[in-house]
Structure 1
Amino acid sequence: MRVSLPTEALTPAQTAVLRDYRARWAGIRRSTVSADRSAAEEGARLAYHAAGLKPPARFVWCESPLALFQRAGRASRDDGPNVKSAIIHRPRRQVAAWVGRRLHKRVRAEVERAVNPADALVASVADAVMLRTPDENLSLLMRMRRGYPLAWSLPALLGRQGFRDSAIGQHELSWLAAYDYIRDVLGLQAETAPLMGLWQLATSLGWLQPHEHTCWLAERPNLLRGDAGDRLHSASGPALRFPDGWSVWAWKGVEVPRWVIEQPEQITLASIDGESNVQVRCCMIEIMTPRRYVTLGGAVRVAEDETGVLWRKRWLASDAWAAVEVINATPEPDGTHKQFFLQVPTNMRTAREAVAWTYGLRADAYARLVVRT
């Protein structure tokens, strides 16, 4: 679709197309389809060419970003230096400058907001990957022993040596969405031409780590699950899995041990008390259900009034769990009233204060309400 270039605002026709690009790139970021290896390798060649580099002599495919981290971490002199900045950051700055001469900054900002919104689910995937790919802390002497030229060690000396700085994933290529729209809809093809290879990479694989002579590429996940809040979540198995089997089990955005999800019947008061991670412990209580946790004696009654019962478990002075037990005032069809446990801040002193907090109110303001739900 080609329409006239806007001056300071998009036309209604141009605005209407934004949602299509938003949906397209959301699908790209969250894709669990196997990588198109031929297309990805061709995209890498184009990206190297756009950066003024010769195409890599070798492509090495990995089944997950963790495998990529492990294999690319053994890079030697034969693989050449990392060229991520040359093929990713340099073209981005160049294209931004060229497009900036043709489009008003207000238009560019509108396009960026519309087609490349924050994606919490994809960001959580990146966080899970980074947790397993710690920064490499090789000394300068060790780098020299491995055959690294002195110039290669400069990024390490400047604090840029980990996987985050040497590799790139789908989450970091989503900025291409805005330029995809600008090229197709606004017609700035010459200005965005250096990005052709990067577009092909972004739509064809999961991760890559480019060096001068060797380019490591990784598959996409073959399973990605989230909850309504776009947090990594699965109540029945891994929330994230890659083709080589590397998986992450998560409950509402918190990574938990595999057994917590797949063998919830093994969650006991003792296992909860023995868990040192506060977030994981709260997930265990939620999976067990607060009702059962309280029934088994996991928490003590702190306060009770006409609004409900406040329960709390304290492990350390700053480490506690609290929930308010309430009864729904609206009866069910059979005349019964549902009972709920709502997790609340641990500094609540009364049930009324805790219930008021769930409504975003102070206790005195809640007390003045005529109707209570």
Structure 2
Amino acid sequence: MRASSPTEQALSAEQTAAFGDYRARWRAIWRSTAPADRDTAEQGVRLAYQAAGLEPPARIVWCDSPLALAGLAVRMSRDDGRNVRFRLVDRLRRRIASLVEARVHRKVLAAVDSAVNPADLLVAAAAEAVIRNVPEQNLSMLGQLRRTGLSLPGVQQALTAPRGFSNCAAGPHDLSWLGAYDYLREVLGLRAETEPLRGLMRLATSVGWLLPHERTCRLADRPNLMCGDARDRLHHAGGPALRYPDGWSIWAWRGVEVPRWIIEHRDRITLAAIDEQVDVQVRRCMIEIMTPERYVAFGGATRVAEDETGILWRRNWLAADAWAAVEVINATPEPDGTRRHFFLQVPANLRTAREAVAWTYGMRAEAYAHLVLRT
């Protein structure tokens, strides 16, 4: 297809129809839990280095998880050379963007980016969890000098070298922009402008994380398990939400990282264990896993208010640390004539059951009361 010129501000119907295919293709790539295609990834490394004006690395080393990759980062030596993540990813992206912007109107580019590369919350959550859990391994200036030497170039390199895993390595979230360029290349015909991205595209489709240095490029495999809830938060009710081939895992409940035992040994969640948990978010997860019904039945919360809409329960730990739920009765009876009780978690600062029930509908208590009266 013919590429749009800077004066064209709209895509054809055929070009627009291709959005869905490319969005689905790259969503599948970012969420893939298949083993890395190592041959394709290594070809991608060599092409990406060349596109960035670098000699291909003498060594390509594989790891089974980002944790293993971060462990190797602190052992990098002078023989590995400088970290080149900026040149390989960020600078190359800017150069290609400049070439593409000279050919395609900015409104078209914005439309392509939003349609092909919508934010993938699950992939972003997995990347954030990885970065939080790997040791940053920040090198001191002395450590950098030991690697680079005491020469003037070595001192300059030590002053400017990136520090920390998140700055030295690149994960799926750092390459998420490639989907739009794949579309521009294949649908709008911008092959010459996007040719330098072929290496990064091969890498993106074949690997998890990369830690690139001048003479050594280290690669980490993709996760073999990545689970989320309906809102694309990291979540798994019976095991790890994120797991890598070497067994490194992260457990999460509705987007909150929790200790392994809370997910896999629910019987250990007791009132005492909940009270001993200092992390407010983890404590709330423990109550959800136990279920608010059982938490209230075991005496974990106190009845603070009751009216025709339900019962408000609350548990206070500190002045700004509390949990609350409103107990309501289903208006529709069960086949045996009984009515089910539901517990809805609500903000702890609500004072009445009516106010709590109204909050679950996004309403103020007065408006909810008038609605109930009318119906």
Q: Tell me the amino acid that sits aligned with residue 322 of structure 1.
A: A
- C-alpha displacement of 1:194: 0.9
CA distance in 2 between partners of 1:264 and 1:371 (Å): 43
Q: Deviations over 1:316-340 (max 9, x none)?
A: 1111111111111122344332211
CA distance in 2 between partners of 1:79 and 1:357 (Å): 58
Q: Deviations over 1:247-288 (max 9, x none)?
A: 011110111111111110110000000111100000000000
Instruction: Please state if 1:118 is matched with 2:134.
Output: no
- C-alpha displacement of 1:174: 1.0
CA distance in 1 between partners of 2:322 and 2:93 (Å): 47
- C-alpha displacement of 1:10: 1.1
CA distance in 1 between partners of 2:3 and 2:181 (Å): 16
- C-alpha displacement of 1:302: 0.8
SS in 2 for 1:238: coil
In the alignment, which residue of structure 2 is the partner of 1:218? 220
CA distance in 2 between partners of 1:372 and 1:67 (Å): 63
Report the CA distance shift for 1:238/1:318 in structure 2 as closer, same or farther (over 3 A): same
From 145, 152, 156, the equivalent of 1:151 is 156
In the alignment, which residue of structure 2 is the partner of 1:180? 182
- C-alpha displacement of 1:109: 0.3
CA distance in 1 between partners of 2:80 and 2:24 (Å): 37
Runs of 4+ in 1 over 6 A off after TM superposition: none
Length, aligned pairs only? 369
Instruction: Please state if 1:344 is matched with 2:346.
Output: yes
Q: Is the 8 A contact 1:329 1:372 kept in 2?
A: no
Instruction: Please state if 1:300 is matched with 2:302.
Output: yes
Q: Any unmatched runs of 5+ in structure 1?
A: none
Q: Tell me the amino acid that sits aligned with residue 192 of structure 2.
A: A
CA distance in 1 between partners of 2:278 and 2:308 (Å): 35
CA distance in 1 between partners of 2:230 and 2:373 (Å): 29
SS in 2 for 1:320: strand
SS in 2 for 1:193: helix
Q: Tell me the amino acid that sits aligned with residue 175 of structure 2.
A: L
In the alignment, which residue of structure 1 is the partner of 2:72? 71
- C-alpha displacement of 1:112: 0.3
Q: Any unmatched runs of 5+ in structure 2?
A: none
- C-alpha displacement of 1:11: 1.1
From 241, 245, 248, the equivalent of 1:246 is 248
CA distance in 1 between partners of 2:80 and 2:336 (Å): 71
Q: Tell me the amino acid that sits aligned with residue 114 of structure 1.
A: A
CA distance in 2 between partners of 1:66 and 1:228 (Å): 27
In the alignment, which residue of structure 2 is the partner of 1:51? 52
Report the CA distance shift for 1:10/1:334 in structure 2 as closer, same or farther (over 3 A): farther
Give the TM-score taking structure 1 as reference length.
0.96
Instruction: Please state if 1:315 is matched with 2:317.
Output: yes
Give the TM-score taking structure 2 as reference length.
0.95
Q: Is the 8 A contact 2:227 2:235 kept in 1?
A: yes
- C-alpha displacement of 1:152: 2.7
Q: Tell me the amino acid that sits aligned with residue 4 of structure 2.
A: L
Q: Is the 8 A contact 1:5 1:187 kept in 2?
A: no
In the alignment, which residue of structure 2 is the partner of 1:99? 100
Report the CA distance shift for 1:371/1:51 in structure 2 as closer, same or farther (over 3 A): farther
Report the CA distance shift for 1:247/1:371 in structure 2 as closer, same or farther (over 3 A): farther
Q: Is the 8 A contact 2:73 2:165 kept in 1?
A: no
In the alignment, which residue of structure 2 is the partner of 1:326? 328
- C-alpha displacement of 1:151: 2.7
Q: Tell me the amino acid that sits aligned with residue 155 of structure 2.
A: L
In the alignment, which residue of structure 1 is the partner of 2:139? 138
In the alignment, which residue of structure 1 is the partner of 2:4? 5
- C-alpha displacement of 1:300: 0.4
- C-alpha displacement of 1:141: 2.2
Q: Is the 8 A contact 1:224 1:239 kept in 2?
A: yes
- C-alpha displacement of 1:312: 0.5
Q: Tell me the amino acid that sits aligned with residue 5 of structure 1.
A: S
Q: Tell me the amino acid that sits aligned with residue 296 of structure 1.
A: F
Q: Tell me the amino acid that sits aligned with residue 70 of structure 1.
A: G
Q: Is the 8 A contact 2:10 2:108 kept in 1?
A: yes
Q: Is the 8 A contact 1:155 1:161 kept in 2?
A: no
CA distance in 2 between partners of 1:317 and 1:215 (Å): 51
Q: Tell me the amino acid that sits aligned with residue 152 of structure 1.
A: Q
- C-alpha displacement of 1:4: 5.5
SS in 1 for 2:322: strand
CA distance in 2 between partners of 1:5 and 1:369 (Å): 54
CA distance in 2 between partners of 1:241 and 1:279 (Å): 22
In the alignment, which residue of structure 1 is the partner of 2:235? 233
Q: Tell me the amino acid that sits aligned with residue 131 of structure 1.
A: R
- C-alpha displacement of 1:171: 1.6
Q: Which region of structure 1 is more displaced relative to structure 2, 335-344 or 134-143?
A: 134-143
